[in-house]
Amino acid sequence: MPLAGVTVLEHAVTRALLAPEVTHVIVVAPVSHIGEAGAIASRSGRPRDVDVVTGGAERTDSVAAGLAALRPTDEVVLVHDAARALAPPSLFSRLVREVRAGHDAVVPGLPVADTIKQVDAAGRVVGTPDRSALRAIQTPQAFRRTVLEQAHASGAAATDDAALVEREGGTVHVVEGDRLAFKITTPDDLAVAERHLADL
């Protein structure tokens, strides 16, 4: 998906590399996009710091492929969705610092503005959670490497890696997210992202 003449993936890689704490990026791509990902790595300005690997059938499989490509010196792991291509370098830096300060897992989250209803299979409301205690979770998500590897060793599937850590009994710390770390998945999202880039 093009964004101001550059693919969303390229924006995501570039922003990650602008964070001083990020010393190694692993792009996990479907086999159909390996060539494009390799070209992005070559153009990144730090090609030695960018590796490209083939992803799996499910999200968890793709993260596992990325974990397998870590270098021995990689102690903090950030898991990020390319669709959140405008996540600022400062967010990456802040998350790494939080893990280094002692947290095993740290995720960015924003307060939920809408009232949330829990419904059953028939569509009946069964609960209304207090939204003051809810957060919309974003990526990148940061983990101590050993914690994330242990969580993935279970073989369970999840919509995000923090959920795997939670299932293993780990504690996940939430910090303030960033409005720029929104998902670019529709033409309207792309238009919003283009406007943000024009303002930078």
Reported as a single tens digit per residue, the pLDDT across 115-131 is 999 999 999 999 999 99
The model's pTM = 0.92
Q: How far is CA 180 from the centre of its chain?
A: 13
More confident residue, 155 or 122: 122
More confident: 187 or 51: 51
**Helix spans in the chain (H):** 8-17, 34-43, 59-68, 89-100, 145-153, 161-167, 187-199
- Give the domain ranges of the chain: 2-199
Query: Which residue would you say has higher pLDDT here, 174 or 59?
Result: 174
- Give the chain's mean pLDDT: 93
- CATH fold label, 2-199: Spore Coat Polysaccharide Biosynthesis Protein SpsA; Chain A (3.90.550)
For residue 78, give the H/E element and its range: strand 76-79
pLDDT tens digits, 23-51: 999 999 999 999 999 999 999 989 999 99
